[in-house]
Structure 1
Amino acid sequence: MAATNIPQDILKDLYAEWDSLMAENPAMSMRMLRSLFDEWHQPTSEPENVTYKEDAVGGVSGIWCLPAGADHSRVLLYTHGGGFAVSSASSHRKLAGHVAKALGVTAFVLDYRRAPEHPHPAQVEDGVAAFEGLVASGVSPDRITTIGDSAGGNLAIAIPLALKEKGGPLPESVIAFSPWLDMENLGQTLSTNNDTDALITPELLEGMIAGVLGESVDPKTPLANPLYADVTGFPRIYINAGSVESLVDNATRFADQATQAGVDVTLSIAENQQHVFPIAAGHSDVADEEIVRISKWYASA
């Protein structure tokens, strides 16, 4: 049951507050932006019977989420959202903990290198290094799932694509929450959902794109923009998004693309939900029910 003392629109309210603060302070420093977005954990309850451990895997720092009784041979490799520039393992550990607990596995949340100090492909490289580090430690590739939200959802997809380019083993599956894939900033729902999305605007995305791609990376580069990738042979994937968010067509477009390539795709669009709606886990029945659906999908392999 969702806690009764939590506002019904806790996620929407947080996003609206962020949007207001950024509008009032257009010259906000990157340090302040990162402090702001590290509040992303606020809508998430602390999952019970989950402990955490700071560590490094494949040379990449992060946080282990260790549910009691979890199968330690199975790992969710979690990449956080935040436009490749903000948020952290700390801001997303609780969400990863909820999902890991529901699936009965462990999760490692990456503190990958962030833009603009480290432009593309640094984030993908860190994800690949962590994946390969897990394999080197004895975790079978077919027991790893790449998972992430927003920009981290992009990385959850890009990491297997990069592994495929290298000719290496791929993860068993992929989970993407509200993936942000369109580095050309051309999605139709950027316009149609502009009035209902409490956070995302084309202008916000333009700044994030400039930070991660700079002037030298083509926005059609497949590892930056998986909408241009050849996804033949891609692992099975679960994709979700909120119906009122501006990036919903990133999810639907990739789902169509993957389906046409013969990939096993499950798409979930939650009515009247905001960007990365599962992050309200423990405080939202919709988020909790979505995580249950994911656990059933995961167990069906």
Structure 2
Amino acid sequence: MAGTEIDAVRDLLAASPRSSNLAERRERLDGFGAHYPVPHDVTVVPVDASGVAAEWTLSPEADPARVVLFLHGGGYVSGSLNSHRHMMAETGRAAGARTLALDYRLAPEHPFPAALDDALAGYRFLLDSGVSPGNIVLSGESAGGGLALATALSLRDAGLPLPRCLWLTSPWVDLEMTGDSMDTEAAVDPLIQREYLTELAEAYCAGTNAATPLISPLHADLGGLPPMLIQVGSAETLLDDSLRLAGVAASADVAVTLQVWPHMIHAWHMFYPQLAEGRRSLASAGAFIRAHLGDGAAVRHPTIWA
């Protein structure tokens, strides 16, 4: 059954090949999100998060005092609130928390560090709204996973309170693309290849060295960061980013949980409505989040819609 379902996702991707036009690429990713409706019992509310467009989602199961702050994927050049809204709805349900997704600025119009500045603004928005850092989960997918890690590093270095934990899905943490899986998994990854990622990295870096730790957190000192869950598929070119990141985190005495999901492709969580492994991986992330927030995590109770 799992093979049949992931093959159907592969067919969906093949039926909508990536364009060389940036606007069309952005429309393509948003279109995948639009393919799946948001459940009728989920409340969606737009918000200005300290100058960054953002969106709350809240399911009936959510504790509004707990927040998953999410940074979407898309290689720093695409992705939006529209592309991942349905995934945020299920994430909040699994985690028992409301979610705040940030529509951070994209390259090439806004290269590094614009996205990082927006992510930090979104985190400060939560703190200013009265959300306890112990009730915040910082999360991201693909480029958003690398951005979430860079955000945590920036918070640590600035002496700001850190979130309770990190959840990273298929994080892109090496924009130099030095992992072996960039080539060994190229034949089975239907979404991202070296040539495409090189183009994205050049757009985001805009002349800044790609090895800069806040661009490629694989090169950073991760000491002092909160526990992290890393989820990655075995059939993706970014597999080695996650494998190496887990080793770097462990060497820095960071509590890290690594899950490699067999046969899963890049960003498989997005396709959870038609993919059982997508639902299971979100449920596993929800269990990780619930375990780290715990029953006594709430310190202050903010208004539901800040």
TM range (shorter): over 0.9
SS at match of 1:281: helix
Q: Which amino acid in structure 2 is aligned with residue 73 of structure 1?
A: A
What's the offset of the Cα at 1:203?
0.5
Q: Which amino acid in structure 2 is aligned with residue 12 of structure 1?
A: R
What's the offset of the Cα at 1:42?
5.0
What's the offset of the Cα at 1:197?
0.3
- Is 1:167 paired with 2:159? yes
Distance 1:262 1:220 in 2: 22
What's the offset of the Cα at 1:273?
0.6
Give the TM-score of the pair, scaled to structure 1: 0.92
Counterpart among 6, 12, 15 of residue 14 in structure 1: 12
SS at match of 1:9: helix
Q: Give the aligned partner of residue 250 of structure 2.
A: 259
CA contact (8 A) 1:44 1:279 kept: no
SS at match of 1:280: helix
Q: Which amino acid in structure 2 is aligned with residue 83 of structure 1?
A: G
Distance 2:176 2:131 in 1: 36
| Deviation string, structure 1 residues 248-289 (Cα, Å, up to 9, x no partner) | 111111011001111111111110110011112222111111
CA contact (8 A) 1:242 1:271 kept: yes
SS at match of 1:157: helix
What's the offset of the Cα at 1:142?
1.1
SS at match of 1:195: coil
| Deviation string, structure 1 residues 90-149 (Cα, Å, up to 9, x no partner) | 110111110111111000111001000110011011000110011001001111111111
Q: Give the aligned partner of residue 286 of structure 2.
A: 295
Q: Which amino acid in structure 1 is aligned with residue 58 of structure 2?
A: L
CA contact (8 A) 1:43 1:279 kept: no
Distance change in 2, residues 1:245/1:44 (3 Å): farther
* Structure 1 stretches lacking a partner, 5+ long: none
**CA RMSD after TM alignment:** 1.8
- Pairing of 1:33-72 with structure 2 (within 5 A): 33-42=25-34, 44=36, 46-72=38-64
What's the offset of the Cα at 1:21?
4.1
| Greater CA drift, 80-89 or 280-289 | 280-289
SS at match of 1:133: helix
Distance 1:99 1:21 in 2: 27
Q: Give the aligned partner of residue 265 of structure 2.
A: 274
- Is 1:92 paired with 2:84? yes
SS at match of 1:170: coil
* Structure 2 stretches lacking a partner, 5+ long: 293-306
Distance 1:96 1:158 in 2: 21
Q: Which runs of 4+ in 1 moved over 4 A?
A: 42-45
Distance 1:259 1:10 in 2: 36
| Deviation string, structure 1 residues 48-74 (Cα, Å, up to 9, x no partner) | 521111111122111111111411111
SS at match of 2:65: strand
Q: Give the aligned partner of residue 238 of structure 1.
A: 229
CA contact (8 A) 2:222 2:252 kept: yes
Q: Quick one: percent identity of the two aligned structures?
A: 34
Q: Give the aligned partner of residue 179 of structure 1.
A: 171
Distance 2:216 2:36 in 1: 29
- Is 1:126 paired with 2:126? no
- Is 1:145 paired with 2:137? yes
Q: Which amino acid in structure 2 is aligned with residue 129 of structure 1?
A: A
- Pairing of 1:15-30 with structure 2 (within 5 A): 15-18=13-16, 20-22=17-19, 26=20, 28=21, 30=22
SS at match of 2:105: coil
| Greater CA drift, 162-171 or 290-299 | 290-299
Distance change in 2, residues 1:261/1:245 (3 Å): same
What's the offset of the Cα at 1:16?
2.7
Q: Which amino acid in structure 1 is aligned with residue 146 of structure 2?
A: N
SS at match of 1:131: helix
Q: Which amino acid in structure 1 is aligned with residue 50 of structure 2?
A: G
SS at match of 2:273: coil
Size of the aligned set, in residue pairs, is: 291
CA contact (8 A) 2:58 2:89 kept: yes
What's the offset of the Cα at 1:43?
6.0
| Deviation string, structure 1 residues 208-250 (Cα, Å, up to 9, x no partner) | 01110012x1111111100011100111101111101110111
| Deviation string, structure 1 residues 147-185 (Cα, Å, up to 9, x no partner) | 111101111111111111211111111101111111112
SS at match of 1:76: strand
SS at match of 2:198: helix
